């Protein structure tokens, strides 16, 4: 197994021929189909669960229990009229939806769904691709995805979509750093950038990274990922009370459907990434019928996070923009950097790790005081501005 991990996917161990190319194409189509079915289920699942939480019925007309409602909505959007604003940049306006949807699929490609399988006499991972720099590929696709939102708002030629795209860029900058530092903690403890190696290193329940890393990187990653996805309570880029829908206000028909698809595809993909990095991926309890490494375990863990995202959407109110920035810059980034230094010290020697830990705790009151001074100054300035307006 170690030899296989050293060269990546065993499918390419004996070179590339027609059979290998056919298997790769089949895996690509199957992965895309699995992700699309997961997105269709996620849309239906979110509408149904929120309706139950709000004492409503939800979709119940198209198909049993309304399961075909998402498909019906997609067909309807496909045949609606496609609008193009007069002031829009036509090329970029048309390109932006694809820049949002494609990175979500590319990121899902590096997620291990199971162990090793044999197809046409060739062994391969139950995973589309296992590049040796898989984590860097994940960060790259995550950073590229925001360009779709930014360009959509800029190319629309309207001020409200532009404000939504500016918010998206600021949100990405403030939360991408915390997201990257939490992933760096996983790479530090695993010693590899390959997602397959990360899963293999979590061979048992006690070896899951959520426990080995102390839980804090997991919590930071989950919060930062929710902000990256523009999911509630961080959905300020499409705040309908302020921006009339946000960056996709001017879109209709299939182009709007692509943004809608990208949002839910990103939700499924990021949930799968969380399961891979912190909860062992497809690794579970060794049960005779299921086995220890199985897609069943992966789906069960994925379902927990999908339900969590729906629960957050139905429960929490939207953050104010200053609260969003404060959480990212003043809490998540310092906490993730501090914990990464602690873990690095622990890797060298436990003495260094504890020294960094207690040194950080000693410095915490100073940092909290600095943050509170900034808050006090902002409150005083806001009160003075408000009084001046009242006098005028």
Tell me the pLDDT band of 269, cut-offs 50, 70 and 90: very high
Phi, psi of 172 (to 5 degrees): -65, -45
Q: What is the pLDDT of residues 203-244, one digit of tens each?
A: 878 889 999 998 899 999 999 999 888 888 888 877 767 767
E strands within the chain?
116-119, 122-125
- Mean confidence (pLDDT) of the chain: 84
Tell me the pLDDT band of 198, cut-offs 50, 70 and 90: very high
According to the model, what pLDDT value does residue 392 have? 59
With a cut of 80, say whether residue 91 has pLDDT above it: yes
For residue 125, the cross-strand partners are 116
Q: What is the pLDDT of residues 147-171, one digit of tens each?
A: 888 888 888 888 888 888 888 888 8
Biggest alpha carbon–alpha carbon distance for the chain: 82
Task: Classify residue 99 as exposed, middle or buried by CB count within 10 Å of its CB (0-12, 13-18, 19+).
Answer: buried
Return the closest-CA partner of residue 181 out of 356, 347, 336: 336
Give the pLDDT mean for 36-49: 91
Return the closest-CA partner of residue 163 out of 172, 175, 154: 154
Give the pLDDT mean for 327-345: 89
Give the pLDDT mean for 340-351: 88
According to the model, what pLDDT value does residue 374 have? 56
According to the model, what pLDDT value does residue 218 have? 94
Distances (CA, A) of 90 to 104, 166, 250: 24, 20, 12
With a cut of 50, say whether residue 321 has pLDDT above it: yes
Reported pTM = 0.87
| Residue 222: count of CB within 10 angstroms of its CB | 18
According to the model, what pLDDT value does residue 371 have? 64
CA distance 139 to 106: 11
According to the model, what pLDDT value does residue 373 have? 64
With a cut of 50, say whether residue 255 has pLDDT above it: yes
CA distance 392 to 369: 35
Give the pLDDT mean for 81-100: 86
Give the pLDDT mean for 59-68: 86
According to the model, what pLDDT value does residue 62 have? 85
CA distance 156 to 88: 5
According to the model, what pLDDT value does residue 254 have? 86
Tell me the pLDDT band of 285, cut-offs 50, 70 and 90: confident
CA distance 348 to 70: 52
According to the model, what pLDDT value does residue 308 have? 92
Percentages helix, strand, coil for the chain (3-state, rounded to 5) are 70, 5, 25
DSSP assignment string, 280-343: -TTB----TTT-SB-HHHHHHHHHHHHHHHHHHHHHPPPPPHHHHHHIIIIIIHHHHHHHHHHH
CA distance 91 to 328: 34
Task: Classify residue 246 as exposed, middle or buried by CB count within 10 Å of its CB (0-12, 13-18, 19+).
Answer: buried
With a cut of 80, say whether residue 29 has pLDDT above it: yes
With a cut of 50, say whether residue 3 has pLDDT above it: no
Query: Residue ranges per domain, the chain?
Result: 70-122+131-330, 349-392
According to the model, what pLDDT value does residue 322 have? 81
CA distance 390 to 388: 5
**Which letter does DSSP use for residue 118 in this model?**
E
Q: Which two tokens stand for residue 233?
A: 């309570």
According to the model, what pLDDT value does residue 386 have? 61
Q: Which residues contact 262 (CB under 8 A, 6 or more apart)?
A: 97, 100, 101, 104, 145, 148
According to the model, what pLDDT value does residue 310 have? 92
**Of 25-39, 48-62, 164-178, the least confident:** 164-178
In the chain, pLDDT over 70 holds for what percent of residues?
A: 91
Tell me the pLDDT band of 375, cut-offs 50, 70 and 90: low
For residue 283, the cross-strand partners are 293
Phi, psi of 287 (to 5 degrees): -115, 135
Q: Of the ranges 28-37, 168-177, 358-367, which is most confident?
A: 28-37
Q: Which two tokens stand for residue 292?
A: 């220890």
What is the residue whose two structure tokens read 């769904």?
A: 113
Tell me the pLDDT band of 46, cut-offs 50, 70 and 90: very high
According to the model, what pLDDT value does residue 2 have? 41
């Amino acid at each position: 197994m170690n030899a296989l991990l050293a060269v990546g996917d065993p499918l390419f161990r004996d070179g590339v021929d027609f059979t290998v190319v056919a298997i790769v194409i089949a895996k690509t189509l199957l992965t895309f189909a699995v992700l699309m079915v997961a997105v269709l289920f996620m849309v239906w699942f979110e509408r149904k669960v929120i309706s139950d939480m709000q004492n409503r019925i939800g979709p119940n007309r198209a198909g049993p229990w309304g399961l075909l409602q998402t498909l019906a909505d997609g067909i309807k959007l496909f045949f609606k009229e496609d609008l193009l604003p007069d002031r829009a940049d036509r090329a970029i306006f048309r390109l932006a939806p694809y820049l949002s949807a494609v990175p979500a699929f590319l990121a899902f490609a590096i997620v291990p769904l199971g162990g090793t399988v044999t197809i046409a006499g060739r062994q391969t991972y139950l995973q589309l691709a296992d590049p040796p720099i898989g984590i860097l590929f994940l960060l790259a696709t995550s950073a590229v995805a925001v360009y779709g939102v930014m360009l959509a708002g800029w190319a629309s030629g309207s001020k409200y979509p532009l404000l939504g795209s500016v918010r998206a860029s600021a949100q990405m900058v403030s939360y991408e750093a915390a997201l990257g530092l939490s992933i760096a903690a996983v790479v530090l403890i695993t010693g590899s950038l390959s997602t397959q190696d990360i899963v293999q290193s979590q061979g048992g329940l006690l070896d899951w990274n959520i426990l080995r890393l102390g839980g804090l990187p997991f919590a930071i990653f989950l919060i930062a990922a929710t902000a990256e996805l523009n999911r509630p309570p961080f959905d300020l880029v499409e705040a309908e009370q302020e921006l009339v829908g946000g960056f996709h206000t001017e879109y209709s028909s299939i182009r709007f459907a692509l943004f809608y698809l990208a949002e839910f595809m990103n939700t499924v993909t990021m949930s799968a990434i969380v399961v891979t990095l912190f909860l062992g991926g497809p690794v579970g309890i060794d049960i005779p019928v299921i086995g220890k490494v199985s897609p069943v375990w992966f789906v069960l863990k994925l379902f927990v996070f999908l339900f969590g995202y729906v629960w957050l959407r139905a429960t929490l109110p939207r953050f104010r923009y200053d609260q969003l920035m404060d959480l990212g810059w003043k809490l998540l980034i310092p906490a993730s950097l501090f914990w990464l230094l602690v873990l690095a010290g622990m890797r060298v020697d436990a003495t260094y790790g504890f020294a960094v830990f207690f040194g950080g705790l000693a410095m915490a009151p100073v940092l909290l005081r600095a943050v509170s001074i900034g808050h006090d100054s902002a409150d005083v300035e806001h009160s003075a501005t408000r009084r001046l307006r009242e006098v005028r």
